[in-house]
Chains A and B, each alone.
Chain A
Amino acid sequence: MWLRVAAVFEKVFKEFIRDRSSLFWTIAWPALWVVLSCLIFTQGIPEAILPKVKASMTLQMMGFALMLAGMANLPASIAGDRERGVYRKFASTPMRAWEDALGRLLALLLFSLISSLIVLAVGLALGSRYEVTVIAIVEAVGVSFLLLLASGGIGLIIGSIAGRERSATSIGVGVSVITSAISGVFAPYQYLPKGLKLFSKYYPPSTSISALIYLLLGRRYAGYNPLTRLHTPYIITSSLLLFVIGLVFYRLRLWSQRL
């Protein structure tokens, strides 16, 4: 069984890194936004806080990269394989649904790690700075994992429903861009209208990104405290719930017909 998990992991990861479209949406585009944000949208900001403002923008784009990986790359991989009849082939082998899912999710995890590190590096090169403890970094990694789980859950739903690889990519990119735009991923939380602030607080990916910023830069840059005693369990539960719903969709749509 681990042989099959490893095989799926290797296949899907190679597909991610060899697909130019995947590399553009998940790495190049967020990195480009970091460049634009740090060079253009920071005009007039006092020098004293500029490194942290850039750091905040970088973290937002790191979060955006994770969202894209989960909501676009993952479903494209699933829909593409279904379109090609790979799942029909899987169905005749000893392959289990959990082996395929785990392999794909591990590939997503590694690819997301690479993409977010690249975006972080671009931000650092452009002057973003962090003053953090090791504990804060560990907590930030945990929050990033929740963000990836939530995005992956949405991606599993998209991948299970979309008939084709292209439509899965389009839907995934669309969902991540639109929800990012209205939830403050592209702009500071403080500048959102009231209604969108509410959405930003309760949409699992965006509130995870706010948690990331809060942990590494403080409340001033996050806009609010997302790690209260009530809200922290909400982030964890809602992210896990989205992920589980995604797994259920994936199981029902792709594997239930199988004997």
Chain B
Amino acid sequence: MYAVEAEDVSKRYGDVIAVDGVSLTVDRDMLYAIMGPNGSGKSTLLSMIATVNRPSGGVIRVMGHDVVGETDEVRRLINYIPEFNFSSQHLTGLENLVFYAALLGIPRSEARDIAQELLRRVGLNEAANRLVSTYSRGMRRRLELATAFLGDRPLIILDEPSGGLDPSMRRVVMGWLLEEVRERDRTILLATHIGEDAEAADRVAFMKDGRIVAEGHPEELKRRYIRESIIDVKLAVKGLKALELLRGFAINGRVMETDEGYRVFVEEPERAMPRIIERLNASGYRVLEINASTPTLEDAFFKMTGSPLG
């Protein structure tokens, strides 16, 4: 039995098709990531699996139960963490967890101990009795992630779990999730627009414009879609001229913009790098760093779809 089975699932809002004929299966005891840019339909798909939204078409089953016909059974098997900050600012961290424990049917007598242990796991034990209004954005998100581990639900559904967290904390969060999968036999289904998060997954699905466009193990996806080498160029400043310049070196003009610069898809990085430096310097762009880089899932997504994630 799969943890999640989706067959030809769609969701329409009037004329807008948010999810268009998605089919996927998620095995049990794995970390499965749906990766795509904002607006690709990931959140809508997750909300349908979590019984928050009704599908316009198709069938979704969670642990063999139909999300439409057996909603109560599905809700007893899942814990869904939406993208937004849902914790109450006027409650303490501990009070928030005890509240959400009660929603899942955990008696108060057990909930406090469970909540304190979870707060310790996510590094919030010292802030447990502080109001959430005093928490930073990252602390708040960690608190909300802690609610995902309440109740021993076999399937945890997370929408952008590391939103608002710095890169270091994102890796810690992914570590917690893998621990849940490996040591507590849970299945985790997450949606993310951050390629690094998906790198830790057992399987990844690329989603664009409401459709799943590719699916597989992260390394398999990279091998399948990236035959070229990639040069990572970090610049002091970015600009259209730099982008145009780099497109001249790239195969099929393929250049992906990043926060710090660009990633250029080339055949022979050793020949290309010195020429890139020379041309950029001549055009007034200071190169901070340039090196041949290992392909990432973001690169694979960009190569496959022609669009960046962020």
Q: Which residues of A contact B (CB under 8 A)?
A: 3-4, 6-7, 10-11, 14-15, 18-19, 84-86, 88-95, 257-259
Cα A94 to Cα B75 in complex, Å, equals 6
Residue of A10, A11, A88 touching B52 (CB-CB under 8 A):
A88
Give every chain A residue within 8 A of B67 (Cβ-Cβ).
259
Given A14-B90, A15-B90, A18-B91: 10 more A-B contacts, CB < 8 Å = A4-B103, A7-B103, A15-B88, A19-B90, A85-B82, A88-B47, A88-B84, A89-B103, A92-B78, A258-B52
Q: Are A3 and B84 in contact (CB under 8 A)?
A: no
Residue of B54, B103, B107 touching A259 (CB-CB under 8 A):
B54
CB distance from A182 to the nearest CB of B (A): 33
Residue of B75, B99, B107 touching A92 (CB-CB under 8 A):
B75
B72 at the interface (CB under 8 A from A): yes
Cα A95 to Cα B88 in complex, Å, equals 17
Q: Are A6 and B102 in contact (CB under 8 A)?
A: yes
Q: Are A89 and B86 in contact (CB under 8 A)?
A: yes
Give every chain B residue within 8 A of A91 (Cβ-Cβ).
50-52
Report, as a range, how many residues of chain B touch the other chain: 35 or more
Residue of B47, B98, B103 touching A90 (CB-CB under 8 A):
B103
Give every chain B residue within 8 A of A4 (Cβ-Cβ).
102-103, 105
Q: Are B90 and A94 in contact (CB under 8 A)?
A: no
Contacting residues of chain B (85-111) with chain A, CB-CB under 8 angstroms: 85-88, 90-91, 95, 98-100, 102-105, 107-108
> Which 4 A-B residue pairs are closest in the complex by CB-CB distance?
A7-B102, A85-B84, A92-B80, A18-B90
B71 at the interface (CB under 8 A from A): yes
Cα A93 to Cα B76 in complex, Å, equals 7
Cα A21 to Cα B95 in complex, Å, equals 21
Cα A196 to Cα B120 in complex, Å, equals 60
B139 at the interface (CB under 8 A from A): no
Q: Are B76 and A7 in contact (CB under 8 A)?
A: no
Among B87, B103, B157, the one with the most A-chain Cβ atoms within 10 Å of its Cβ is B103
B131 at the interface (CB under 8 A from A): yes
Cα A142 to Cα B2 in complex, Å, equals 56
17 A-B pairs, CB-CB below 8 angstroms? Answer: A3-B102, A6-B108, A7-B98, A7-B102, A11-B95, A18-B90, A18-B131, A85-B82, A85-B83, A85-B84, A85-B85, A89-B81, A91-B50, A91-B51, A94-B76, A257-B53, A258-B51
Q: Are A7 and B71 in contact (CB under 8 A)?
A: no
CB distance from A14 to the nearest CB of B (A): 6
> A7 — nearest CB in chain B belongs to which residue?
B102
B287 at the interface (CB under 8 A from A): no
Q: Are B90 and A259 in contact (CB under 8 A)?
A: no
> B43 — nearest CB in chain A belongs to which residue?
A88
Give every chain B residue within 8 A of A90 (Cβ-Cβ).
103
Give every chain B residue within 8 A of A89 (Cβ-Cβ).
80-82, 86, 100, 103
Q: Are A95 and B83 in contact (CB under 8 A)?
A: no
Cα A3 to Cα B108 in complex, Å, equals 8
B68 at the interface (CB under 8 A from A): yes
> B49 — nearest CB in chain A belongs to which residue?
A92
Give every chain B residue within 8 A of A259 (Cβ-Cβ).
51-54, 67-68, 71
> A99 — nearest CB in chain B belongs to which residue?
B103
> A20 — nearest CB in chain B belongs to which residue?
B90
Cα A18 to Cα B134 in complex, Å, equals 13
Cα A93 to Cα B151 in complex, Å, equals 11
> A83 — nearest CB in chain B belongs to which residue?
B84
Give every chain B residue within 8 A of A7 (Cβ-Cβ).
98-99, 102-103
Among B72, B79, B84, B131, the one with the most A-chain Cβ atoms within 10 Å of its Cβ is B84
CB distance from B87 to the nearest CB of A (A): 8
Instruction: Mark each residue of chain B from 249 to 279: 1 if its CB lies under 8 Å from any CB of chain A, else 0.
Output: 0000000000000000000000000000000
Q: Are A3 and B80 in contact (CB under 8 A)?
A: no
Cα A3 to Cα B104 in complex, Å, equals 9
Residue of A84, A93, A257, A258 touching B103 (CB-CB under 8 A):
A93
CB distance from A169 to the nearest CB of B (A): 14
Known: A258-B52, A259-B67. A95 touches B103 (CB 8 A): yes
Give every chain B residue within 8 A of A94 (Cβ-Cβ).
72, 75-76, 103-105
Cα A85 to Cα B159 in complex, Å, equals 12
